[in-house]
Amino acid sequence: MIVTRKTGYYVFSLLLVLLCLTINTKARANTKSMLILGDSLSAAYGMTLEQGWVSLTEQHYRDNNKPLYLINASISGETSAGALRRLPDLLAEHPVDWLLIELGGNDGLQGQAINSITDNLTAMVQLAKQQGIQVAVMQIRIPPNYGKRYTTAFESLYKTLAEQQQINYLPFFIEDIATQSELMQNDGIHPNQQAQALISRRMQQQLLELVQD
């Protein structure tokens, strides 16, 4: 076979395309997906979804070719019972590697029974585990005006759940932000737009470390 300059160019181009396809295939194989199942704290309450910390974090991962893809299934006002009802369909639609549960705040604000909240969260964890999905639970805190006994029981359920179910535990992501009025909306419960970038920078590293551990 006589190899002309034109033939050599086509062969080189073909090899280059095959190399790029191989690299992209490996990159996709190493990329993990995570479903964020949360409430208004993750649903960009009071702003557009694109301004919220989940979207900002996902954009950061895309821009920097990080091996993590986020799917935000958070809804403002969501309770543990509501999320549990939605979870089977969500997992059927999104076959993810990880589930991050950021829930319970609305249950606590409604004074729901601690056992009921725990049961709902446990059911979500077990449902994910049955499908081979790794799980992380986010610590949630509520205002102290619900009484010390209830508040203590509520806040302690998260570490207990993580230990009993042998899942990953993440600290409350707005722990320090919630005490800074300039970073909170007028209701004193939800972080404002300025705070979203701060939350995102914190979660970018935490989530990557979680899936790469």
| CA–CA separation, 1 and 157 (whole Å) | 73
CA distance to 10, 78, 99, 112, 129, per residue, from 37 (Å): 48, 9, 7, 19, 15
Is 40 one of the annotated active-site residues of the chain?
Answer: yes
89 CB burial (10 A radius; 0-12, 13-18, 19+)? exposed
Is 187 one of the annotated active-site residues of the chain?
Answer: yes
The first and second tokens of residue 121, run together, are 């969260």
| CA–CA separation, 105 and 193 (whole Å) | 20
Given the residues 39, 40, 42, 74, select the one marked as catalytic. Answer: 40
Is 33 one of the annotated active-site residues of the chain?
Answer: no
Given the residues 39, 60, 74, 190, select the one marked as catalytic. Answer: 190
Could you give the residue numbers annotated as active site? Answer: 40, 187, 190
